[in-house]
């Protein structure tokens, strides 16, 4: 059975001509940021990908149809949709949303699956899901997906509302390389860095592209995480961020928030508690990550076309 997918003409053409494409997720539009900041940010991310010379493909499920490269009008409609009218789609939600003709916003895991189906290698977002603080059994499906789907995710690490050391352990178990883009330490989403080292620092889009290419060459089925720190002038003081995160997490527990509602609840509460500063950091890092992913996508396409001079075959 053919999968019910629509690719926008732009994306179809770019992929057919081996031109750079960057996938973008839609959960941050419906569940991550409030209206109208969500539309503005989604469009600013698309613009940043274009400025870097790549085509942006924002991915969502619209009325059961996998849609790669949704239009600005469709982005606006998702952004304005009443809360809970759009399904937050991780791996397990995709078949349900497709079969029952629902609208779905794809998470990192959901977007990776669709990007891989479409043949898109780069994907930019803010922060991946991870292991929740104090809830070591609440492991985001994003981590498992990184272990089994060959898409490179450009992000500012895992959201610092998570347990970062445990998140790194899980990624190691699944064989996911963690690369620091012009950084030696893992970023902490709202803050430029943690004291946790990345596997490898990289200093250019070309280095990132070469690593993705090498993973292709050895038939690696896993993805990789390319971490980019938030712009320094937008970062949150680590103590302020930590205090807000701890309070928000405790409140979520007290309010009985569970499962996929935890992340949106905590993100929103942290923003209230920091007077919007966390939101400003979030938006700045999303736009920066989109640009970096566009640059890497371009370097990756160049590598694919050029025959390797050292190859003996």
Catalytic amino acids?
A: 25, 159
Residue owning tokens 């979520």: 252
Beta bridge partners of 122: 22, 152
Binding partner of residue 126 among ligand PSU, Mn ion, none, CB cut-off 5 to 8 Å per kind:
ligand PSU
Alpha-carbon span 59 to 21, nearest angstrom: 12
Binding partner of residue 278 among Mn ion, ligand PSU, none, CB cut-off 5 to 8 Å per kind:
none
CB-CB contact of 30 with 12 (8 Å)? no
251 contributes a contact to Mn ion by CB under 5 A:
no
> For the window 204-243, what string marks contact with ligand PSU as x by the rule CB under 6 A?
----------------------------------------
27-35, 49-57, 174-182, 290-298 -> range binding ligand PSU (CB under 6 A): 27-35
Burial class (CB in 10 A: 0-12, 13-18, 19+), 87: buried
Alpha-carbon span 182 to 227, nearest angstrom: 9
> For the window 69-108, what string marks contact with ligand PSU as x by the rule CB under 6 A?
--------------------------------------xx
Residue owning tokens 């973008």: 24
Contacts with 301 (C-beta within 8 Å, 6 or more apart), sequence order: 18, 19, 20
Full DSSP string of 146-194? HTTS--EEEESSB-TTB-HHHHHHHHHHTT--EEEET-SB--BTTBS--
Phi-psi region of 281 (alpha: psi -120 to 50; beta: other; left: phi over 0): alpha
138 contributes a contact to Mn ion by CB under 5 A:
yes
37 contributes a contact to ligand PSU by CB under 6 A:
no
Q: Give least dist CB 44 to ligand PSU, A.
A: 14
Q: Give least dist CB 111 to ligand PSU, A.
A: 7
Tell me the torsion sign for CA atoms 57, 224, 226, 307: negative
Binder of ligand PSU out of 41, 193, 194, 282 (CB under 6 A): 282
8-16, 34-42, 260-268, 290-298 -> range binding ligand PSU (CB under 6 A): 260-268
Q: Give least dist CB 138 to Mn ion, A.
A: 5
Count of residues binding ligand PSU (CB under 6 A)? 18
Q: Give least dist CB 132 to Mn ion, A.
A: 6
Q: Which of residues 117-176 bind ligand PSU (CB under 6 A)?
A: 125-127, 129, 140-142
Alpha-carbon span 55 to 300, nearest angstrom: 14
Query: 7: closest CA among 105, 112, 115, 95?
Result: 115
Residues engaged in binding ligand PSU (CB under 6 A): 25, 27-28, 31-32, 107-108, 125-127, 129, 140-142, 260, 263, 267, 282
């Amino acid at each position: 059975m053919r999968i019910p997918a629509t690719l926008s003409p732009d994306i179809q053409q770019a992929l057919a001509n081996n031109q750079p494409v960057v996938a973008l997720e839609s959960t941050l539009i419906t569940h991550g940021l409030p209206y109208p900041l969500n539309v503005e940010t989604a469009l600013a991310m698309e613009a940043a990908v274009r400025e870097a010379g790549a085509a942006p493909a924002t991915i969502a499920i619209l009325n059961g149809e996998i849609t790669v490269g949704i239009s600005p009008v469709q982005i606006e409609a998702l952004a304005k949709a009443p809360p809970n009218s759009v399904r937050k789609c991780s791996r397990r939600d995709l078949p349900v949303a497709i079969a029952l003709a629902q609208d779905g916003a794809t998470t990192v895991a959901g977007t990776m699956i669709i990007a891989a189906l479409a043949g898109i290698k780069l994907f930019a977002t803010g922060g991946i899901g991870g292991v929740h603080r104090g809830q070591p059994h609440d492991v985001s499906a994003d981590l498992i997906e990184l272990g089994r789907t060959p898409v490179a995710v450009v992000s500012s690490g895992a959201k610092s509302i998570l347990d970062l050391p445990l998140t790194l352990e899980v990624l190691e178990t699944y064989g996911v390389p963690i690369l620091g883009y012009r950084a030696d330490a893992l970023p902490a989403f709202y803050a430029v860095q943690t004291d946790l080292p990345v596997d490898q620092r990289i200093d250019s889009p070309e280095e990132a592209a070469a690593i993705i290419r090498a993973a292709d060459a050895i038939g690696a089925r896993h993805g990789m995480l390319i971490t980019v720190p938030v712009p320094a002038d937008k970062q949150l003081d680590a103590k302020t961020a930590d205090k807000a995160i701890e309070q928000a997490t405790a409140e979520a527990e007290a309010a009985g928030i569970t499962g996929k509602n935890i992340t949106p609840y905590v993100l929103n509460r942290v923003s209230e508690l920091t007077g919007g500063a966390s939101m400003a950091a979030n938006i700045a890092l999303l736009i920066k990550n989109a640009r970096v992913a566009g640059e890497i996508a371009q370097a990756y396409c160049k590598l694919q076309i050029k025959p390797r001079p050292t190859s003996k075959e």
